[in-house]
Amino acid sequence: MSRVVLTVNAGSSSLKFALFNTAETGLAELARGQVEGLGAQANFRVKAPDGMVLAKADYPADEGPGDPGEALHLVLDWHRSQHPDMGIDAVGHRVVHGGPNFSDPMVIDTDLIARLKAFIPLAPLHQPHNIAGVVAAREAFPKALQVACFDTAFHRSHPWVNDVFGLPLELYEEGVRRYGFHGLSYEYVIGALRRIAPHHAAGRVVVAHLGNGASMCAIHDGLSVGSSMGFSALDGLPMGTRCGQIDPGVLLYLLDSKGMSVAELSDLLYKRSGLAGLSGLSHDMRELEASPRPEAAKAIDYFVFRVRRELGGMTAILGGIDALVFTGGIGANAVHVRERICSGFEWLGIELDQHRNRISDAVISSDRSRCRIFVIPTDEESVIANHTVSLLNSVSG
């Protein structure tokens, strides 16, 4: 029996979605899109799998959808107009934080929502909006099964030494530990690598998820054993607007000597740092690469430096490297950034093929490279959809 699954990724100013239909051959994507600019100048876009635009709308300021609930109703209205005889059987949600215990997708009920709210302090930039999307979807699709898929779940295989901080142990027991994020992306990438290069997927793999949010993960035989992100989605690499790794003494200084409030500090670290803060121009790597301003070049320099440093660290965790995978908006598209990251790592067996890199081939390493280098665009929506279908089948028999 055919089932229809909607995936939802609700953020502070956008809602991304995808629509899938189950078939004998597996999941078939029907469409995907986004509602951006919630509460401001919103726009609505839907595309077919071949890239054809199925719907497009731009709204004047304050006349479009203002929150995830209104955005979901917009999606629902479009779906009903295009597929009047096709209901929604299940909704799969990306939920950034699942805490220390949620290592598998979960059917959402009132109790689970309450437990997820407890993780809001751990992911204040994402968790409230994820939960708002869940609440809105339960109202919009009351008969559909709702499923939570956690970005932290993939990293629950970490060894203890990677999760703990050098703090009193009771804090670790209370949940102050390294969680890791972007798990749905890593899950997709390692699954894709198993299909195209199973020998490499079974070995020592470093995945660089580079985008507006950026992190790196060390994966051994398909299991996460190290991640650059930690207790929050602030740690590790510099990102579009987030700072990445920072000496905690800086935070104490800003609180004490500069008199910053916790709210001001949070705003600085999450929204005014990273590429945007360093460049004073933009969080978008494309704009920085096109800019003649020296500050833009310095921001890119720092980003590349930190990725290279993290690549060395992840390789040390693994005891070597068999495959390096680039994914995310920057990783899959920024040719020059990939070239700079890989340059000089020949001693580690990493050697780029310049032509393959320029055309963003699936394999961009040279034939001589001991480490194979891949470019794999991520697809978190398909991961969410597959998990949702599995739970839907198990619940309905």
Which amino acid is located at 395 in the chain? Answer: V
pTM of the predicted model as reported, rounded to 2 decimal places: 0.95
- Considering the domain architecture, whether residues 361 and 230 belong to the same structural domain is answered as yes
**pLDDT given for residue 291 in this prediction:** 98
CA dihedral sign of residues 21, 192, 10, 111: positive
Given the residues 67, 109, 151, 322, the one annotated as active site: 151
Residue 140 contacts residue 76 (beta carbons within 8 Å): yes
Instruction: Please tell me the distance from the alpha carbon of residue 124 to that of residue 96, in angstroms, as a whole number.
Output: 10
Q: What is the mean pLDDT of each run of 10 residues along the chain (397 residues)?
A: 90 90 85 91 94 94 85 90 91 95 94 94 87 92 96 95 96 94 97 98 98 97 96 95 97 98 95 97 97 98 98 98 98 98 97 98 98 97 96 85
Instruction: Please tell me the distance from the alpha carbon of residue 334 to that of residue 384, in angstroms, as a whole number.
Output: 26
Please list the helix, strand and coil fractions of the chain in percent, rounded to the nearest 5, in that order. 40, 20, 35
- Considering the domain architecture, whether residues 214 and 104 belong to the same structural domain is answered as no
Task: For residue 209, give the CATH number of its domain.
Answer: 3.30.420.40
Domain-embedded: residue 34? yes
Domain-embedded: residue 85? yes
Residue 278 contacts residue 302 (beta carbons within 8 Å): yes
**pLDDT given for residue 221 in this prediction:** 96
Is 62 considered catalytic here?
no
**pLDDT given for residue 66 in this prediction:** 87
Boundaries of domain holding 74: 4-150
Q: How many domains does the chain have?
A: 2
- Considering the domain architecture, whether residues 203 and 128 belong to the same structural domain is answered as no
- Considering the domain architecture, whether residues 226 and 340 belong to the same structural domain is answered as yes
Edge-to-edge strand order for the sheet containing 215-220? 223-227, 215-220, 204-209, 323-327, 372-375
Residue 274: count other Cβ atoms within 10 Å of its Cβ.
26
**pLDDT given for residue 191 in this prediction:** 98
Domain-embedded: residue 390? no
**pLDDT given for residue 397 in this prediction:** 61
Domain-embedded: residue 386? no
Instruction: Please tell me the distance from the alpha carbon of residue 92 to that of residue 94, in angstroms, as a whole number.
Output: 7
Spell out the alpha helix ranges (H) of 257-374: 262-271, 274-279, 285-290, 294-318, 328-333, 335-342, 354-358
Domain-embedded: residue 103? yes
